[in-house]
Amino acid sequence: MHTIGKLLAGTVLAGVVATGVAIAPAASASATTTVSAAQAGSSWDRFERGDGRFDYRWGKSGGRYWLDFKIWDRDHGDRDYSFFDVYYKDHGKWFFYKRYSTKSFLSKHIVFGKHVDDFRVRGGYGHGGTFGWGGWHYR
């Protein structure tokens, strides 16, 4: 009788585990769908300037543009920094948003206000106000 009890308990436990495994992927899939739909955007793009390497991607969520970027300064032994400029467009005019710089690595996530119509970025490399800028990259 004791063996039948263990067998029954094992069967119930196996059923609970199997049900949990069956439910978990469905819950994960719906959560993933919600997140990916909210953060749908471009794939990562890369460009380089001097010893700087720049990766960026963008998207739109809730009526607002967002921008993720990463900056690498690959030569830590010199005096130069890698710079990343962000500009936004509002009612047909471009405005400076912010300049980011690093001597090693930097990663940021920006969410623009609802008034932003467009944005552009560029990367540069240098020090003391003397930069070698790359071209503009638009969304």
| pLDDT tens by residue, 37-88 | 445 578 888 888 877 899 999 999 999 999 999 999 987 778 888 999 999 9
Nearest to 103 by CA among 76, 71, 126, 132: 76
pLDDT at 11 over 60: no
The dihedral over CA atoms of 92, 96, 97, 101, expressed in degrees to the nearest 10, equals 150
Alpha-carbon distances, residue 28 vs 17, 23, 40 (angstroms): 16, 9, 17
**How many whole angstroms separate alpha carbon 57 and alpha carbon 98?**
17
pLDDT band at 92 (very low <50, low <70, confident <90, very high): very high
Q: Choose from 17-21, 75-79, 110-114 the range with maximum mean pLDDT.
A: 110-114
If you ran DSSP here, which 8-state letter would residue 38 be given? Answer: H
Phi, psi at 39, each rounded to 5°:
-115, 25
pLDDT at 36 over 50: no
CA atoms within 13 A on the CB side of 10: 6
The H-assigned helical ranges of the chain are 2-38
Average pLDDT over residues 92-102: 95
Q: Which two tokens stand for residue 25?
A: 């992927």
Q: Which two tokens stand for residue 24?
A: 């978990």
Return the pLDDT at 10: 55
Phi, psi at 92, each rounded to 5°:
85, 0
Better-predicted residue by pLDDT, 103 or 25: 103
pLDDT band at 9 (very low <50, low <70, confident <90, very high): low
pLDDT at 12 over 80: no
